[in-house]
Amino acid sequence: MSKVIAIDGPSGAGKSSVSRIVGERLGFLHVDSGALYRIMTWQCLENGVDTSDPSAVAAFAPKVEIECRPECGRIEYYVGGERPGNRIRTPEINAHASHVASVKEVRDIITATLRGMTRHGDLVVEGRDITTAVFPDSPARFYLTASAEARAARRQKEEVEKGIANQGAEAVKASLLARDRIDSSRRYAPLRKADGAVEIDSSDLTLEQVVDAVVKSLPEGW
Ligand code: DC
């Protein structure tokens, strides 16, 4: 049976960097579940599907074909043979993604896709409902958080470094808090700390310190 390290938390808490490094250290594949919701959102927008209409999104979701391949320590996603890259990281996708992620049919499809990835080996999976809904029985579950200021500052730096956008700190913070609100209050699999998950506040920790805290809390023999 594959081992799964499950990491949830709000936007900008550092889940991606932490999951990538934990995966490298342990030889577990890194799985970015948010990218699947972003791909669904991108495909809705490309195909003129109204993301504020849950029934339109639900009807369209099964038509989106996402190929998942283990490559270089992570699961890479392909749509029509191409990697989506930064096309799924724009402020426009940010603004629509939490609406698409609120649709039950979308969540069911992505949950099944994520569970199927265990056939590729041991995984570090990050997202919003990994510890509560996708892999709730994993013995290695973490809730990673940080102050809104720290999270917005990280997201803004990342957007500028990757050449995705050049928004001010306040705009980044407002968009991030708006998404958190929708992600935490939705009906299906809202973001919340799972009972029994280890909570780590990364506001004043370095990346290495957070990685160490995760690795130290893993079950014996992982
Ligand atoms: O982590 P991210 O910003 O790339 O996530 C994109 C969107 O998908 C965000 O609105 C939260 C949502 N999401 C989710 O609902 N469940 C997950 N497991 C991962 C992401």
Q: What is the band of 163 on the pLDDT scale with cuts at 50, 70, 90?
A: confident
The mean of the pLDDT values for the chain is: 95
Residue 88: both structure tokens together: 């799924």
Question: Rounded to the nearest 10 degrees, how much is the dihedral formed by the CA atoms of 109, 111, 112, 118?
Answer: 150
- Enter the pTM of the model: 0.95
CATH architecture assignment, domain 4-195: 3-Layer(aba) Sandwich (3.40)
- What number is the average pLDDT over the span 102-109? 97
Contact 47, 60 (CB under 8 A): yes
Report the separation in Å between the CA atom of 216 and the middle of ligand 1, taken as the mean of its atom positions.
26
CA distance 110 to 36: 7
Ligand 1 midpoint to CA 125 (Å): 12
Domain positions in the chain are: 4-195
Looking at residues 94-112, what average pLDDT do you find? 96
Contact call for residues 162 and 87 (beta carbons, < 8 A): no
Q: What is the pLDDT of residues 26-35, one digit of tens each?
A: 999 999 999 9
Of residues 2, 18, 1, 6, the one with CA closest to residue 140: 6
Report pLDDT digits (tens) over 181-191.
999 999 999 99
127 lines ligand 1 (CB under 6 A): yes
| Lowest mean pLDDT segment, chosen from 12-21, 152-161, 196-205 | 152-161
* Residue having the nearest C-alpha atom to atom 5 of ligand 1: 34
**DSSP, residue by residue, 21-54:** HHHHHHTPEEEEHHHHHHHHHHHHHHTT--TT-H
Sequence-distant (6+) residues with CB within 8 A of 93 are: 38, 41, 42, 45, 87
User: Is ligand 1 within 6 A of the CB of residue 172?
Assistant: no
What are 56-89's pLDDT values in tens digits? 999 999 999 999 999 999 999 999 999 999 999 9
Q: How confident is the model at residue 167 (pLDDT cuts 50, 70, 90)?
A: confident
pLDDT at residue number 191: 94
* Strand (E) or helix (H) holding 74: strand 74-78
Answer whether 34 contacts ligand 1 (Cβ < 6 A). yes
- Stretch 141-146: mean pLDDT: 97
Confidence of residue 168 (pLDDT cuts 50, 70, 90): confident
List, in sequence order, every beta strand (DSSP E) within 115-174.
123-127, 140-145
User: Closest residue (by CA) to atom 14 of ligand 1?
Assistant: 128
Confidence at 164, pLDDT banded by 50, 70, 90: confident
Closest to 37 measured CA to CA, from 11, 17, 14: 11
Percent of the chain with pLDDT over 90: 86
Closest CA to 155 of 145, 165, 143: 165
114 compared with 154, residue with greater pLDDT? 114
pLDDT band per the 50, 70, 90 thresholds, residue 1: confident
